[in-house]
Chain A
Amino acid sequence: MTTTAHPDTEITQRPAASTPRRRFSWGKIAAWGVMVIFLLITLFPFYWMLRTALSSNNALATDPSSLLPVGLNTGGFERVFGMQDVETAISQGGSGASINFWRYLLNSVIVATFITVVQTFSCAMAAYAFSRLRWRGREIVFLIFLGSLMIPQIFTLLPNFILIKNLGLVDTLLGVMLPTLFISSFAIFFLRQFFNNISREVEEAALIDGASKVRVFFTLVLPLSTAPLATLALLTYMTAWNEYFWALMVSYTDQSRVLTVALGVFRAQAPGTGPDWSGLMAATLIAAAPMLILFALFAKKIVNSIGFSGIK
C-alpha cells in the first residue's frame, strides 16, 4: 500500500478516550453483547443467501428453518447460469424460462467500468482546474457544480429519459451510461480537497524546469493522488454497479439489461408454485459477489474514506 498521507488515517488511529482497558465490568460485557447482536443482524442475511442458494427448493418447503443448507445442491446456481435443461429446472422449482445471466453480468461490468474510468478521469481534470489553475470565474463555476449536488435524482430522470429517447439511445448500454458518464459533483469536490493539499513547491519546481501545466497534472498531481483516486474509483464502481432506477427506465431487452434490473425480472418470473428461492438467492449472491470481493480486498481504504467523504 502507498504511504501517501491520508487525512483520515490520523484521525482513525488516534486513540479514543483512554479507558482503563483491563478492568472487568458488567457494562462492558453488556456493550459487547449489544454489539454482537447488531453484527448478527448485519451478517445473517448474507449467510442466509448462501444457505438458501445451496439448498433445493423442494427441501426448503419441508424444512425451512434448518440453519444448514437443506437438500444440499448447486441447482440454484446452475439455473442462474442457464446450465440446467428446462425439465430439470421446473422439477427443481425454477420457472424454466431462460435467463441470460452472463449477458447481464457482462453488461453490468461494461457499464460500471466505463462510468468509473471516464467519470473519475473527467472529474479529476475538472478538480485540477478548480484547484490548481488560475482563471476568472473559477469560484462561481465551482459553486454551480457544488449546487448541482442538491438536485435530486428523480428530477433529472424523466427529462433525461426523454433526451435519451430523442437521441435514439433507449435500450443501449450508452444510454444506460450517459447521464453519469462524465460527471459526479461529489467526485470533483472530493478530489479538489486532495489536490489543494499537494505541495506548491514541487509544482513550481516542475514549472520552472519548463513543464507545462498539462504535464504537471499527468506526471505529478495524478501519481501523487493514487490513494484518493483509487478510493473514489471504488465508490463510483459500487454506485454504478448498484444503480437500479435509471437502468430500469432505459433498458428493455437483454442487449442493455444490467444485473440489478435482471434480478427484478428474475424475481417476477415466479412459477405457479411460488418463487424459486434457491435460484433467486444464488442470483443475488452472484450479483453481490463482485462488490463483496472488491470490498474484502480494499476494506481498510473504503472504511477510512467514509468518514472523510461524509464529514469534511
Chain B
Amino acid sequence: MSTATTSTRSAPVRRRRKDDTKLALLFIAPASVGLLVFLVWPLLTGIYYSFTEYTTLTPPQWVGLANYQELLSDPIFWTSLRVTILYVAINIGVQTVVALVIAVLMQRLTQSTMLRSLVLAPYLVSNVVAAIVFLWILDTQLGVFNIFLQWIGFDPVSFWADESWVIPTIALVNVWRHMGYTALLLFAGLQSIPGHLYEAARTEGAGEITQFRHITLPLLRPILALVLIMTIIGSFQVFDTVSVTTQGGPADASRVLQMYIYQNAFAEYEFGYASALSVALLLILMIVTFTQYWLSRAGHSDLD
C-alpha cells in the first residue's frame, strides 16, 4: 500500500499519517446527502420529467420528445425567450458599464470602506423589497420619478404598464440592486493591478483615458470576463422582480422564461412541459458558459 511506503521512507511525524477514509466519509456525509438528494437527483429527474406528460394527479407518462416538439412550435416560448434575452442584454450592458465606472472612480478617488459599504447597500435587500420600492417610485400617478420627469418637462411614463418600457424598467431595477456588488468585484480586480504600471505611464505623459485603455482595461479583462459570466448566468434566472411587479404583463411583454416555467408548473400543472422548458433554459446557460469560457481563454491576462 502507498501508506506503508510513505511511512518507511520518512520521519516519525509521517508515520502518524494514515488513510482517513472512514472519517472523511463521515465528514462529507451531511453535505453529500444535500448534494445527492437536492441537486444531483433533481437534475436527473428533471431531465426525465421533460420526456413525460406529468400533471400532479397522475404519475408521469413517457411521451418521448413530444414536449420538445411542442416547445419548438410554441409562440409563447419564443416570445419569452426573446423577452429574457432583451432583459439580459439591457441588464448586463448597463450594469457592467456602471459598475466599471464606479469601480474605477473608487480606485482613483478614495480607499474608504465606508463608501464601498454604502455602494453595497442595495445588494442587501431582497429582490422583492427592491421591486416594491421601485413599484412605488415609478408609479404612474404618485411616483416621485414621474413627478420629477414632469418637473423637467417630460410626460409621465407608465413604466410597469407600457409594453416597451416594462423590460427596461425591470432590468434597471435589478441593475440598481446589483451594481454595487459588481463594482466591488471589479474594484478587487483593479486593486491587483500593480501601481508602478500607472506611474510609468504617467512619466511618459499618458493621460487618464490612455491609462484606462492601455493598462486598466487589458489587465482587468480576465476578471471582467469572470464577473460577466457570473452576472449573465444570474440574470438569465430573473423571476422575483417580475413575479412581484407585473406577473408577466402587460400582454406577454415581461413574461420571462422563468415566469413561463412557473406558470406552466403551478397554474397549468404541466410539470412535464415546464421541465422541458427548464432543460431549454439549462441548455442556453450551458451554451453561454462555454462560449464565455472559450472567449476568455482566447484572452489571457497580459500580466501572466
Contact = CB atoms under 8 A, between A and B. Distances in A.
Contacts of B179: 42
Given A126-B27, A263-B128, A307-B187, A183 B102 contact: no
A233 to B, nearest CB: 15
Contacts of A11: 188, 191-192
B49 to A, nearest CB: 7
B119 A31 contact: no
A264 interface: yes
A49 to B, nearest CB: 6
B294 interface: no
Contact of A311 (B49, B98, B132, B223): B223
Contacts of A52: 136
The prevalent SS among residues of A at the interface is helix
A260 B227 CA distance: 27
Given A11-B188, A158-B265, A267-B244, A260 B126 contact: yes
A106 interface: no
Contacts of B236: 152
B66 interface: no
A49 B143 CA distance: 12
B40 interface: yes
A267 B30 CA distance: 38
Interface string B75-119: 000000000000000000000001001100111110101111111
B120 A310 contact: no
Interface stretch (A75-83, A84-92, A95-103, A159-167): A159-167
Contacts of B107: 16-17
A306 B184 CA distance: 7
Contact of A133 (B27, B132, B192): B27
Contacts of B262: 245
Interface string B37-69: 111111101100100000000000000000000
B23 A213 contact: yes
Interface string A250-290: 00000000001001100100000001010011001001100
A122 B30 CA distance: 6
Given A38-B102, A43-B121, A145-B35, 12 more contacts: A42-B180, A45-B122, A45-B130, A125-B30, A130-B28, A134-B19, A148-B35, A159-B45, A277-B139, A287-B128, A295-B120, A310-B226
Closest 8 CB pairs of A and B: A307-B188, A183-B34, A182-B34, A17-B198, A159-B42, A242-B126, A126-B31, A133-B20
Interface of B: 13, 16-21, 23-25, 27-28, 30-35, 37-43, 45-46, 49, 98, 101-102, 105-109, 111, 113-122, 124-130, 132-137, 139, 141-144, 147-148, 151, 176, 179-181, 184-185, 187-193, 195, 197-199, 208, 223, 226-227, 230, 233, 236-237, 239-240, 243-244, 258, 261-262, 265-266, 271, 274-275, 278-279, 281-282, 285, 289
Interface of A: 8, 11-19, 27-28, 31-32, 34-35, 38-39, 41-43, 45-46, 48-49, 52, 60-61, 64-65, 118, 122-123, 125-126, 128-130, 133-136, 138, 141, 144-145, 148, 150-163, 178-183, 185, 188, 204, 207-208, 213-214, 217, 238, 241-245, 248-249, 260, 263-264, 267, 275, 277, 280-281, 284, 287-288, 291-292, 295, 299-300, 302-304, 306-308, 310-311
